[in-house]
Structure 1
């Protein structure tokens, strides 16, 4: 996926400045920016501030503060044209920072899991630029519609829980309370949605975005540096299932797929996750696979233990399940070490029948393992 994020920031900023430059002689102070509470000038300054602050936060990999520094615009000497120069400069700073920052590095952002990687900051910035340029253009009566792929870039990274619409830009406007979509209720509250990341002693479990999943499904790397024999087939299949759930509007990001990234060298070694959100009885099923070269080193056990503990700490979750082929002794050992126990005959019959794996326990070679809420 390369430097796609940096390129998207540059494209979004160039498009915004091109539109707004035609109105620099207008009064931006006295005009409200669309549905925002800010004036058009305040909104333009906010765009510049976001770009510059994101660059600073990412460059320093700041972990615990929303704004490590601020920018102050001198209203007496900074006209509208100079505000646009600030936006351009902020775009250059951020795109350059995204390019040189290691892809697995993360810095603070509060929405919703307190961190974002370079691709995430790029998507956040593109979203801010597109949406607030729309607000300013609406206030000034200017025509503005960004390229559809920029809106898609934001949606597939910052709105993984939103079902894609027929067109990306109207969907992004609707998802942020700025427009309507046929058949969908108006949005009154919304927020950015960075991916969930769970650290373990030797690994980082990174939630897979719809964009990364789509790339993996099509044979790409999903933006990850994989070990030589990865990703394994099961990870690509799981990515395809995630994309289908996203397109159907039933994807719940924290109950999706996680890529297992080795801390020591940043290599992705496998995938792990859930077959879907917990059902009405508080039950969720887990699955995983590792590249062959990463097996036998305890990575799957370490990751499964961490993911299971996270899941069982969520409200309403009471039971995790893993179905394993009878002959797969290695996988049975993994779940056992991760705190799962073999289901009784009665439990297996009940769960497998409910999950439609098989109508009767004796007709399947699947073995069910359970980990219950303590």
Structure 2
């Protein structure tokens, strides 16, 4: 599995600071503007230090709803060598926090849905470091290219909405394109860009954690996807869904919100199953989902909680008309879960029974229309 964590932060810091130290001499003027930025090279280095420190604090503070109100700055008069040293030191701080954060630790970040876990903060920190190292070195016409394996992991974890590198394109070139810094044949240059932290949807006794493409590929190949599973998990349906997610990412058609989510029991942080969509909503605004729990977790109401939580969230997204689930005839247990989660029976689709959930305003409109007839 492509890893993202403290080791990757250390690798990125070692690579970037080695390149930056080569230009942290009197031969290079760090008061010049970094390539493509309004900041000077020293300002850009300070920004990286501030990001590393802030990301570590977001995790240790378990910040919710806002950033921890602290800011790291370079002391007045810091020279380029000192700035590089500060990047190295603050990068070590972030790496240590990422390594020691408990599995449920999350901190505030606005993109895209208000929080990030340790992997997310590690990836964001590395993206900031590598891109701004590139920006600084551009000011001095010095080429920079970080390790390909690191760029591949960043794309898969933090930019799952971006089609992966194609044959002939490097992962670094793709990352530069994905962040508005480069061009690729056949892809329009980006004027605006955002990364994507894995979505976290809390319920009562469970939480839904979006499964990133590297984790999905590992699950499909027989691994754990980085989750601690209860006995009997992951079950066959989970591995099948993971395979679909991994294939969609490889094909460049993956849309993160409409993928797969692990169902994690909050009491012990163990994964008990998975739930997710079969793809983005169709042209009429209907999304279809499925779910799968390990046998040892069934019969406890976890599936109902997970289904209700994911459905209610999906119905708040733009242009979603409804969510549909299909059930084989005779699967009364699944039908009961759907009914408890608020789904209603709809017309069969082929040989399968259909259950649907709609936004509350649409249900109200339908009731009003019936009353007026």
TM norm structure 1: 0.92
Q: Distance in 2 between matches of 1:240 and 1:122?
A: 26
Deviation (angstroms), 1:90: 0.8
Which structure 1 residue ranges, 5 or more long, are not aligned? 353-360
CA contact (8 A) 1:305 1:338 kept: yes
Structure 1 residue 216 and structure 2 residue 202: aligned?
no
Q: What corresponds to 1:324 in structure 2?
A: 327
Structure 1 residue 203 and structure 2 residue 206: aligned?
yes
Which structure 2 residue ranges, 5 or more long, are not aligned? 364-373
Once the two structures are overlaid, the 10-residue window that deviates more, 313-322 or 300-309, is: 313-322
How many residues are treated as equivalent by the alignment? 356
Q: What corresponds to 1:153 in structure 2?
A: 153
CA contact (8 A) 2:103 2:269 kept: no
Structure 1 residue 191 and structure 2 residue 177: aligned?
no
Deviation (angstroms), 1:8: 0.4
- The structure-2 alpha-carbon separation of the partners of 1:321 and 1:285, relative to structure 1 and needing over 3 Å to count, comes to same
After TM superposition, the structure 1 = structure 2 runs for residues 57-68 of structure 1, keeping only pairs within 5 Å, are: 57-68=58-69
Once the two structures are overlaid, the 10-residue window that deviates more, 333-342 or 263-272, is: 333-342
Deviation (angstroms), 1:109: 1.1
CA contact (8 A) 2:48 2:129 kept: yes
Q: What corresponds to 1:371 in structure 2?
A: 357
Deviation (angstroms), 1:2: 11
Structure 1 residue 5 and structure 2 residue 20: aligned?
no
Q: What corresponds to 1:280 in structure 2?
A: 283
CA contact (8 A) 1:3 1:99 kept: no
CA contact (8 A) 1:103 1:119 kept: no
- The structure-2 alpha-carbon separation of the partners of 1:247 and 1:2, relative to structure 1 and needing over 3 Å to count, comes to closer
CA contact (8 A) 2:30 2:80 kept: no
Aligned partner of residue 320 in structure 1, secondary structure: strand
Structure 1 residue 140 and structure 2 residue 143: aligned?
no
Q: Distance in 1 between matches of 2:300 and 2:332?
A: 15
Q: Distance in 2 between matches of 1:371 and 1:72?
A: 50
After TM superposition, the structure 1 = structure 2 runs for residues 217-256 of structure 1, keeping only pairs within 5 Å, are: 217-256=220-259
CA contact (8 A) 2:278 2:287 kept: yes
What does the per-residue CA deviation read over 1:226-274, in whole Å, with 9 as the maximum and x for residues that have no partner?
Answer: 1121111111111110111112222111111111111111011110011
TM norm structure 2: 0.92
Given candidates 309, 327, 336, the residue that maps to 2:339 is 336
Aligned partner of residue 230 in structure 1, secondary structure: coil
Q: What corresponds to 2:91 in structure 1?
A: 91
Once the two structures are overlaid, the 10-residue window that deviates more, 3-12 or 184-193, is: 3-12
CA contact (8 A) 2:201 2:208 kept: yes
Q: Distance in 2 between matches of 1:235 and 1:315?
A: 27
Q: What corresponds to 1:357 in structure 2?
A: none
Q: Distance in 2 between matches of 1:28 and 1:120?
A: 34
- The structure-2 alpha-carbon separation of the partners of 1:99 and 1:224, relative to structure 1 and needing over 3 Å to count, comes to same
Q: What corresponds to 2:82 in structure 1?
A: 82
Aligned partner of residue 322 in structure 1, secondary structure: strand
Q: What corresponds to 1:110 in structure 2?
A: 110
What does the per-residue CA deviation read over 1:65-103, in whole Å, with 9 as the maximum and x for residues that have no partner?
Answer: 224311121232x21111111111111111111111012
Q: Distance in 1 between matches of 2:57 and 2:211?
A: 25
CA contact (8 A) 2:46 2:73 kept: no
Q: What corresponds to 1:163 in structure 2?
A: 163
Q: What corresponds to 1:356 in structure 2?
A: none
Q: Distance in 2 between matches of 1:96 and 1:30?
A: 31
What does the per-residue CA deviation read over 1:9-30, in whole Å, with 9 as the maximum and x for residues that have no partner?
Answer: 0000000010111111144433
Q: What corresponds to 1:44 in structure 2?
A: 45
Deviation (angstroms), 1:3: 7.6
Aligned partner of residue 116 in structure 1, secondary structure: strand
Deviation (angstroms), 1:332: 1.1
Deviation (angstroms), 1:4: 4.4
After TM superposition, the structure 1 = structure 2 runs for residues 15-30 of structure 1, keeping only pairs within 5 Å, are: 15-25=15-25, 26-30=27-31
